[in-house]
Structure 1
Amino acid sequence: MASDVEDGVCFHCLQPIPHGVELSVAFQGDDKAVCCAGCQAVAETIIEHGLTAYYKHRDLDKPQQTPLLPEQLKELDVYDNPDVQSDFVRNTGDHSKQTTLTVNNITCGACAWLIERELAKTPGMIKSVVNVSNQRLHIEWDGSIIKLSDIIARLARIGYQALPFQQNQIEANINARRKGFIKRLGVAGLATMQVMMIAFALYFGVVSDLDPTTQQYLWVVSLVFATPVILYSGQPFYKSALKSIQAGSVNMDVPVSIALIGAYIASLYAVIIGRGEVYFESISMFTFFLLTGRFLELLAKEKALKFSTNRLTYMPNLAHREYDGGLEDIAAKQLKINDIIVIKPGETIPADGVLLSDKASVDESLLTGESRPVTKATGDGIVAGSVNQSATLRIKVTATAQQTVLAGIVAMQDAALADKPKVQKAIDHIAQYFVMTLLAIAAVTFLVWSWFDPDHALWVTLAVLVATCPCALSLAAPTSITGAVHRLNRMNVLVKGAQLLESVKHLDTVVFDKTGTLTYGQFKLIAREDYADIDTINAIVSGLEQRSEHPIAAALSQLSDQPISPDAIQNYPGQGILAEIAGTDYRLGRCEFIQIWHPNWQPKRQSNVILANRQAVLAEFQVDDEVREDSHDVICA
């Protein structure tokens, strides 16, 4: 029953809820926790259409067997609902759409090749690219020819479960896989150590004429320890191999599975008949090493995801929407075109829109990298992700969710990163033929050795399968490319396409962006002139700037450990601050703002922040984005 769902588990998909996620749906008078907005939307649709029987009759003991889409949902085409799609689908033309799907159980380039080949045969598909390293599928399709639910169903038929990409869901899937790998590694590691200890006794028995009864006993003990390794720890390889065979293809896990199972069956047969050779230690150790490699690969993927440049995570979850003269707080994803929203100073703008207020000063550094605020006038466009640096703003929404400029930039980046470089395309193509050729060579090897030396035919064949496993061929290229791209992203270098890594050696011209590249991207006090007591000036400036949201204010707000709080303060957006301290009026801001009191005064240097009272100018400050020390050397290199 649905009421028996454990705490900390998503009510809809039965997967662990990531830390910090607080989403829920109302079901039979109770609030049920869900792991992401996608599950929330689907669950609400099920409940809204009276299909709650799905939650009552599903098998909670087998969450992995819960169908991706229940039969009722298939009829409703819930993932084709425009309201549901607004969270993860971007319209790129009259009928063309783009999205990124999370595809479970992608293990190598062969999986990617199979998915891309299957979708390429699908009418209405424009483009499909699989990123093996982060298990994402970027697709573009013609909505007038095929529906997204049909694409997901087509992937399910070839054994791949696909869901709309959600950062929280990705992290939950990786956490679940990591826990599964740790359990299998633990079993394989402990069993391998025991089997190896017994193997040493058998090795010494070769030169010391080990008693047949003792040898048989050691074989049986080895069998007991090796069996969990083969039947439990090796399951990921068998499932992957079976899935690829069912889809009419082969991947690198096919020869691995044949080698493991073949060696185990042959060793088991030797134990039963009491003669021959057993290789329990070899298959146990091989399984442990393979699992270790897969586990390290998973950790690399997890680390890459943590530093992924998915800028949509900076978008606010709530928005202030006007209604009948009042304000209501709603989820940002529920905003509609033509809604009027209110943005308070310091808040991030949740949607694209048109400015209705007289003027605004916004920080667009998330989009442009430029740290200086941009001044906007009534009717100017405002982009989601910008930060309001002035007074409270009113904005009319023109685009939301996946239709915003920021979402478009992220989509272009994801599409570019998903596009494979030439070397990876060649490797993916070769890997398919490599595995097929390997199986053919193994078959020939078995036949030849069966003719010359039947006792060693099986073992030589298994050695060929194991030694020539194309793990490095299929995994090294995508993993190394993804690792390089994410390493560059961590260093604030945004790579538009992975294929650029191939051509970087031919570069002869480099164009630098100033902010955050040749400079630090943060305002800093460069120079100052003081015309009064410096300690008093610092205390006044710190006290005023600590009450300002302007990015320049951060560079001056820490000038004093004992800031003086103003008795009254008034903020003039884009100009400065007028304040009263102990009966004295002060102005702090631009030169033009100060010249209202001192029309003939001119700064001595390129100062952009000036402090003055009605009697005189007290100080001037030059605050700017500081140039990096090594910028000259970089440009001249």
Structure 2
Amino acid sequence: MEIQGQKQTLLKCDHCEETIPKDMEIVSQDHVFCCHGCKTVYSILGSNNLQDFYKIRDDEGAKIAPVNKKVQDFSYMDDDSFISEFVMTKNGISTVKFYIEGIHCMACLWLIEKTPSFIQGLTSARLNIGDNTAVFEFTEQTKISELANALTRLGYAPHPLKMNESSYNLQKREERTELLRIGLAGASMGNIMLYAISNYAGADGFYRILFNWISFAIAIPVIFYSAIPFYKTSLQAIRMRTLSIDIPLSIAMLGGFFFSTASMLTGGDALYFDSITALVFLILLSRYFVKKATQSGLNAKGLQTFFTNTGVLKEVDGKFKSVHGKYISQGDRVKILSGEKIIFDVELDSDKAVIDNSIITGESKPQEVIAGETLNAGSINIGPEITAIVRTIGEQTRIGKIIKEIEASSKGQGKTVLRADKIAKYFIALVLILTTYIGIYSYIQYGLHEAIARALAVIIISCPCALAMATPLSFIKSLGQLKSSGVLVKNESVLENINEVKHIILDKTGTLTEGRFEVLDFKNMSSMRDLEIHSIANALEARSIHPIALSLKEYFNRYRLESFSIENFQIINGLGIKATIDGVSYFLGKVNKAHRDESLSQMTLVGLYNEETKEIMATYALGDKLKDGAIEKVEELLAKGFSLHIASGDNEGVVRSLGKDLGIKSENLHAEQSPEDKAHLIATLKESGKVLMVGDGANDALALQKADVGIAVGGAVDLSLRASDIFLSTSDIKVISKLITTAAETNKVIIRNFAFSIAYNTAGVLLALNGYVSPLLAAIFMPLSSVTVVLSSFMGTRRLNKCFKVQQGDLK
């Protein structure tokens, strides 16, 4: 924008690094900020010596959103009813769990876990960045409301979560038990190996017998404690009349132990305590690492948490009191503050309200509602505070019904995973048959000792662990690299589904566009300065709560404007506002046809007129801006042969104009789409191929779930994030092409891993059948096959590595 013939100077906020046009900055000493919220957070970090937050942020290359400084009332968190349900207390230390909205990067993790250093009474803070949940431990000195307020001042929105004590303790106990089993098996293996090496080296007589008994004693807890998970899985598989990888492993462990014990008692030398303890340790360890590596993505549970776990102003005895959302009943009268999210379906009690209902409809333009009309849960009151009567709660609200349908839906395993499981089961059956055959044959030809040795070697080395791991491990590197690029993939089978996608549906609001109804163009046709024009328009709109007026006032708030007193204020229904300022009569409202700019025909135009001369002084064009790079990426997807569609809650004119700009066929443009309409559109398109849906906002949640692949673009509310298969933590839709490339190349890695696993197992069985591999070597080589699959998976392919190549200088 030009000001008096000179280009406007742009500054950057010292906290969030948003650009700030001149005359909009908030200056504090030597620093500039885009808003008072960013200024407050910067001050808090500085006064507590936590400036390293910005260094970590820069190292991560993360983007931080401007801070919302809206005041919230968390006093309900100090009520006994809330504490009894959400707080766990033990030995004088209380624990509370929050979902933290606004987590962006490792700098956020660092800052959250530093809160005990400046919040009195807070003893511990742990953040799980995978699901954005934080657990805080505190003494009686700390009020939960004070903790919530402190997090809010830092720019994070805390949502309390129930802390199920039995579930929480069970999870910790399970983790400890796994590590204890692994540690015991590892220590036992190491000690037994020492004695076995002594025997192999020539220990004889008393020492040989002593070392055998010590090895036997050390092996007992490994077989009857560390190996218990293998037995449980095997018994479960037998009860279900199916085959499991753990069946041959259990046979090898128990068979090897009891045969070795019998051999030791009868004075024989066929002892395999070293082999079976090594087998238990290496398999437990490899499975633990695989489990940890694949514990990524987001939990699909708890979708409705973020629409109920907040404070609500409820009328009690004629006064409004802050209570937790779960204590609201149908028929209660509530007060909804400006900027507050509505968490129930309510009937408006006030005369009128202005709401942002894009969370339901997808339409970016605010809506005006009158008394008696329904406001849906999830919409936001962007006008003055209002009162309303609660009509429906939870699952009975419109958004609650959508949530219920999402939770009832379940996407099964991918075909590749199922195919791998099926092959593994056939292989297990073949292994058991071969083991029986080689045992009988070797007994007849070579005797019992050689028969047991060969049978154990075959059953150990042929265990199809690598085959079973080939598919899930192939996804680990791809999912990890996607995550480092700001792409969270919940389910590994999602990448498989992307390879089969034919149709791509793009939501308009927040996906192709910025998702904000705002001033996109300003033209000054008068001799007055821009700031004078803005000051006059701001004075005219000061009393209005019309949606357009609110968007204009938000635009004006960026500037340092003059204050004017107005006279003869008059609202002209359907047209605009008329008033007198300093003796001059002005009109702000609908633009005459003669003054309309056809290039802005799909935007809402507001004109400022001098009523006395009828001259137009300035125009404001309001709309939803197209995201940078959207046109290029749409062209790229079209070039790859995808059938592209736009589905939006906006009117047909807006959608058709957008489709024309993007080069999408008119028959693929779908306007005025409700959440249910989008779900129906997906069902129709599925008849001719798989569908990928890209959306932003809770209005897309149902569609994201119904699609074969659902992608929630950055800025989406928590509901969309939870309902989707993929979440883009940034608003950049450019990564969709990267996703498609990643899916194709990952499939190549899977095929390579399958080929290696089958070749390895086949070669190993042939060598063991002919006596070239001992049980000890088999116990070592079998886990090594899994390691090789891991290495193959992390090597990737040349094109896959190029897709995620880090440019020189990107890493600090």
CA 1:618 to 1:516, structure 2 compared with 1: closer, same or farther past 3 Å?
closer
Aligned equivalent of 1:627: 627
Q: Name the stretch that deviates more: 311-320 or 327-336.
A: 327-336
Using the alignment, how far apart are the partners of 1:282 and 1:626 within structure 2?
Answer: 64
The answer to whether the 8 Å contact 1:359/1:376 transfers is: yes
* Structure 1 residue identity aligned to 2:393: T
SS in 2 for 1:599: strand
State how far apart, in whole Å, the 1-side matches of 2:204 and 2:535 are. 91
Q: Is the 8 A contact 1:417 1:496 kept in 2?
A: no
- CA gap of 1:250–1:222, structure 2 versus 1, over 3 A, is same
Q: Is the contact between residue 588 and residue 606 of structure 2 (CA under 8 Å) also seen in structure 1?
A: no
Which is further off, 469-478 or 252-261? 469-478
Please say if 1:599 is aligned against 2:587: yes
Residue identity matched to 1:315: F
Q: Contact (CA 8 Å) 1:389, 1:549: kept in 2 or not?
A: no
Listed as ranges, the gaps of 5+ residues in structure 1 are: 1-21, 37-133, 135-164, 565-579
Aligned partner letter, 1:179: R
Q: RCO higher in 1 or 2 (8 Å CA, sep ≥ 6)?
A: 2
- Does 1:513 pair with 2:473? no
Distance 1:210 1:431, change over 3 A: closer
Match of 1:91 in 2: none
Q: Which of these residues, 436, 457, 468, is aligned with residue 463 of structure 1?
A: 457
The amino acid across from 2:410 in the alignment is L
Q: Which residue of 1 aligns with 2:178?
A: 181
What is the identity, as a one-letter code, of the residue corresponding to 2:508? K
Of 259, 266, 280, the match for 1:266: 259
| Structure 1 counterpart SS, 2:223 | helix
Q: Equivalents in 2 of 1:512, 1:387: separation in Å?
A: 24
Correspondence list, 1:339-350, <5 A: 339-350=332-343
Contact 2:348 2:372 in 1 (8 A): yes
Partner of 1:69: none
Question: After alignment, is 193-202 or 273-282 more displaced?
Answer: 193-202
Deviation at 1:455, TM superposition (A): 1.1
Q: Deviations over 1:288-320 (max 9, x none)?
A: 3322333234334542235x4854232232444
Structure 2 counterparts to residues 184-583 of structure 1, below 5 A: 184-196=181-193, 199-201=196-198, 205=201, 209-223=202-216, 225-245=218-238, 251-300=244-293, 302-305=295-298, 308=300, 311-317=303-309, 318-322=311-315, 325-367=318-360, 371-421=364-414, 435=428, 438-453=431-446, 454-471=448-465, 504-521=498-515, 526-529=520-523, 556=555, 559=558, 581=563
Greater CA drift, 607-616 or 452-461 = 607-616
Distance 2:304 2:313 in 1: 19
State how far apart, in whole Å, the 2-side matches of 1:538 and 1:376 are: 27
Question: How many residues align structurally?
Answer: 464
Give the AA of the match of 1:290: I
Deviation, 1:425, is 5.5
Residue identity (%): 25
How many angstroms apart in 1 are the aligned matches of 2:271 and 2:513?
A: 66
Q: CA deviation at 1:191?
A: 3.9
Deviation at 1:177, TM superposition (A): 3.0
Q: Which residue of 2 aligns with 1:70?
A: none
Alpha-carbon contact 1:541-1:556 (below 8 Å) kept: no
User: Letter of the aligned partner of 1:348 in structure 2?
Assistant: K
The 3-state SS of whatever aligns with 1:182 is helix
Question: Take 1:273 and 1:553, find their aligned partners in 2: how far apart are those partners?
Answer: 94
Instruction: Give the secondary structure class of the aligned counterpart of 2:624.
Output: strand
Q: Deviations over 1:331-388 (max 9, x none)?
A: 4334444444432222222223444444333334445655544444445443323322
**Shift of residue 396, structure 1, vs aligned partner:** 4.0
Decide whether aligned partners of structure 1 residues 354 and 425 sit closer, same or farther in structure 2, where only a CA change above 3 A counts. Answer: farther
Aligned to 1:628, the other structure's residue is in SS state coil
Deviation at 1:212, TM superposition (A): 4.6
Distance 1:312 1:469 in 2: 44
Q: Give the whole-Å Cα distance in 2 for the aligned partners of 1:293 and 1:443.
A: 28
Equivalent position amino acid for 1:183 in 2: L
Structure 2: distance between partners of 1:217 and 1:549:
91
For structure 2, the residue ranges without an aligned partner over 5 or more in a row are 1-76, 89-130, 132-160, 580-584, 640-812
Deviates more, 1:228-237 or 1:171-180: 171-180
* 1:390-428 alpha-carbon deviations (Å, 9 max, x no partner): 233444444322333333333433444344455555666
Q: 1:255 to 1:456 in 2, by over 3 A?
A: same
Tell whether the 8 Å contact from 2:577 to 2:588 is kept in structure 1 after alignment: no
CA contact (8 A) 2:424 2:467 kept: yes
Looking at structure 2, the residues matched to 183 and 540 of structure 1 have their Cα atoms a distance apart, in angstroms, of: 73
Check whether the contact 1:268–1:278 (CA below 8 A) recurs between aligned residues. Answer: yes
Distance 1:538 1:509 in 2: 46
- 1:407-454 per-residue CA deviation (whole Å, 9 max, x = no partner) reads 333343344434445555566667666655654543344333322332
CA-to-partner distance for each residue in 1:157-180, whole Å, 9 max, x for gaps?
A: xxxxxxxx9896877654443333
Aligned residue identity for 2:629:
E
| CA shift in 2, pair 1:512/1:600, >3 Å | closer
The TM-score with structure 1 as length reference comes to 0.56
Given that 2:301 and 2:407 are in contact with CA atoms closer than 8 Å, whether structure 1 keeps it comes out as no
> Residue 97 of structure 1 corresponds to which residue in structure 2?
none
Going from structure 1 to structure 2, the CA distance change for 1:513 and 1:541 (only over 3 Å counts) comes to same
Q: Alpha-carbon deviation of 1:329?
A: 4.5
Q: Which amino acid aligns with 1:599?
A: F
What SS is found at the alignment partner of 2:340? Answer: coil
- In structure 2, what is the Cα distance between the partners aligned to 1:415 and 1:490? 31
When the two chains are superposed, the root-mean-square deviation of aligned CA atoms in Å is 5.6
Structure 1 residue 255 displacement after superposition: 2.5
TM-score when scaled to structure 2?
0.45
Deviations 1:500-533 (A, max 9, x none): 8666444444232223332344677754446766
Query: Residues 193-244 of structure 1, C-alpha deviation per residue, up to 9 Å, x if partnerless?
Result: 44445555555x1xxx444544445445544554443333323223333444
Deviation for aligned residue 1:259:
1.9
